[in-house]
């Protein structure tokens, strides 16, 4: 091959390699997220509780909580009902007014959990994340509430495309606190750490970018005072060495991280499980709570988060519903309390 031709060939290879590298590192996404009302599973308005001097908001990622219908031979109805009973006992102990949930397959799963409670919730909704029936997202978000929400919105990334598209959406619930104050709670379940780290970080950041933009729009458009909370599974512990340099949560830098500074043993929400070295991770605080707006000011103030450290089997081989294993996460909660006049 002549020298000039060789240079052209090598140049073409260089351009192709550069384009491939650029494409590999292009973790953007495009399209508009879908804003919709989550699916109403039940609504017993006559049993609604009124807003008191304290509202307790909880979050629980109930691991792969499917209804056991066409979920494979490893997922039996007995296991599903045992998982519901185990998870319900923890929810009962926390006794929240509102609980955001993650990894809820559908309305049947949500009803199974509510039916297992000694005191069921009068309101229940679940998202239908994804891009239609052919691409249904099994890891849905859900909400159980004793207080009737003023507004519920599902923010769904299903219609968007691109390598940086977040895999799940967000669930927003707004409650009227009276006195021209609104409490808006976002439930989140961000991208896991499986796969390519830069892609994971971009996906988490993109979801939070949308959340922060949505919250700012609420504050701008509302004449009421907004108390803002974000609670959920972030799949990041910013105080852990494992996540040094992880900028996933940067959109929330102006929000108050309510776990910040707590000792690890007090804030562990996902403990180490044993039996498979490839899946034995150090304990971490993935289930986090952030506050903004007026949630740290008079008259409504957030307290310190709590975590109920039970319901997780140490053996990775125990599937949800087996041997007391409800989830690989512990449930967390936060109280918003009204100051005395």
Q: pLDDT tens-digit profile of 257-269? A: 999 999 999 999 9
Q: What is the mean pLDDT of residues 238-263?
A: 96
**Collapsed DSSP state (helix, strand, coil) of residue 286:** coil
pLDDT of residue 137: 53
Residue among 70, 189, 207, 68 nearest 127 (CA): 189
Query: In this predicted model, what pLDDT tens digit does every residue of 179-207 receive, in sequence order?
Result: 999 999 999 999 999 999 999 999 999 99
Assess if residue 12 is contained within a domain: no
Query: In this predicted model, what pLDDT tens digit does every residue of 316-334 receive, in sequence order?
Result: 999 999 999 999 999 999 9
**Does the structure show a pLDDT above 80 at 6?**
no
Rounded distance between C-alpha atoms, residue 152 and residue 174, angstroms:
7
Assess if residue 334 is contained within a domain: yes
User: Does the predicted model carry a pTM greater than 0.85?
Assistant: yes
Confidence bin at 25 (pLDDT 50/70/90)? confident
**Does the structure show a pLDDT above 60 at 38?**
yes
Assess if residue 14 is contained within a domain: no
CA–CA distances in Å: residue 281 to residues 59, 192, 276, 328: 22, 13, 10, 12
Contact 129, 102 (CB under 8 A): no
CB under 8 A, 24+ apart: contacts of 171-175: 171/38, 171/100, 171/127, 171/141, 171/142, 171/143, 172/214, 173/98, 173/100, 173/143, 173/145, 173/149, 174/149, 174/150, 174/218, 175/51, 175/55, 175/98, 175/147, 175/149, 175/150
pLDDT of residue 208: 98
Query: In this predicted model, what pLDDT tens digit does every residue of 256-308 receive, in sequence order?
Result: 999 999 999 999 999 999 999 999 999 999 999 999 998 888 899 999 999 99
pLDDT of residue 145: 98
Confidence bin at 131 (pLDDT 50/70/90)? low
Assess if residue 13 is contained within a domain: no
Confidence bin at 341 (pLDDT 50/70/90)? low
Looking at the structure of the chain, the number of domains it has is 1
pLDDT of residue 8: 38
Rounded distance between C-alpha atoms, residue 98 and residue 110, angstroms:
14
Q: What is the mean pLDDT of residues 25-45?
A: 95
Assess if residue 90 is contained within a domain: yes
Q: What is the mean pLDDT of residues 215-222?
A: 92
pLDDT of residue 23: 46
CA angle (196, 287, 302) in 5-degree steps: 140
Confidence bin at 222 (pLDDT 50/70/90)? confident
In this structure, the dihedral spanned by the alpha carbons of residues 298, 182, 101 and 36, taken in order and rounded to 10 degrees, is -150
pLDDT of residue 39: 96
Rounded distance between C-alpha atoms, residue 188 and residue 229, angstroms:
11
Assess if residue 206 is contained within a domain: yes
- Per the prediction, the chain carries an average pLDDT of 91
Q: What is the CATH number of the domain that holds 262?
A: 3.60.10.10
Assess if residue 6 is contained within a domain: no
Rounded distance between C-alpha atoms, residue 192 and residue 186, angstroms:
18
Rounded distance between C-alpha atoms, residue 190 and residue 187, angstroms:
10
**Does the structure show a pLDDT above 50 at 80?**
yes
Give the residue numbers spanning the domain of 134: 34-338
Assess if residue 26 is contained within a domain: no
């Amino acid at each position: 091959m002549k020298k000039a031709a060789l240079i052209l060939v090598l140049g073409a290879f260089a351009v192709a390699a550069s384009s491939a590298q650029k494409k590999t590192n292009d973790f953007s996404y495009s399209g508009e997220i879908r804003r919709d009302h989550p699916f109403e599973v039940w609504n017993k308005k006559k049993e609604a509780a009124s807003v008191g001097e304290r509202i307790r908001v909880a979050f629980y990622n109930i691991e792969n909580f499917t209804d056991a219908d066409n979920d494979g031979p490893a997922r039996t109805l007995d296991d599903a009902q045992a998982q519901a009973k185990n998870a319900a006992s923890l929810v009962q102990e926390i006794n929240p007014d509102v609980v955001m949930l993650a990894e809820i397959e559908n309305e049947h799963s949500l009803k199974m959990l509510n039916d297992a409670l000694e005191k069921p919730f009068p309101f229940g909704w679940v998202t239908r994340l994804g891009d239609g029936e052919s691409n249904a997202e099994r890891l849905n978000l859900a909400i159980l509430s004793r207080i009737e929400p003023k507004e519920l919105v599902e923010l769904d990334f299903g219609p968007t495309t691109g390598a940086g598209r977040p895999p799940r959406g967000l669930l927003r619930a707004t409650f009227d606190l009276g006195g021209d104050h609104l409490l808006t709670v976002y439930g989140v379940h961000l991208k896991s750490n499986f796969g390519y780290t830069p892609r994971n970080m971009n996906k988490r950041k993109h979801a939070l970018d949308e959340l922060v933009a949505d919250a700012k729009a609420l504050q701008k458009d509302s004449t009421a005072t907004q108390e803002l909370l974000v609670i959920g599974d972030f799949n990041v512990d910013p105080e852990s060495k494992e996540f040094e340099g992880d900028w996933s949560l940067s959109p929330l830098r102006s929000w108050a991280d309510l776990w910040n500074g707590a000792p690890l043993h007090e804030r562990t929400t996902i403990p180490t499980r044993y039996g498979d070295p490839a899946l034995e991770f150090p304990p971490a605080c993935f289930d986090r709570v952030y506050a903004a707006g007026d949630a740290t000011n008079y008259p409504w103030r957030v307290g310190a988060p709590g975590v109920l450290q039970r319901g997780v089997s140490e053996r990775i081989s125990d599937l949800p519903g087996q041997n007391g294993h409800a989830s690989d996460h512990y449930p967390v909660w936060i109280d918003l309390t009204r100051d005395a006049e």
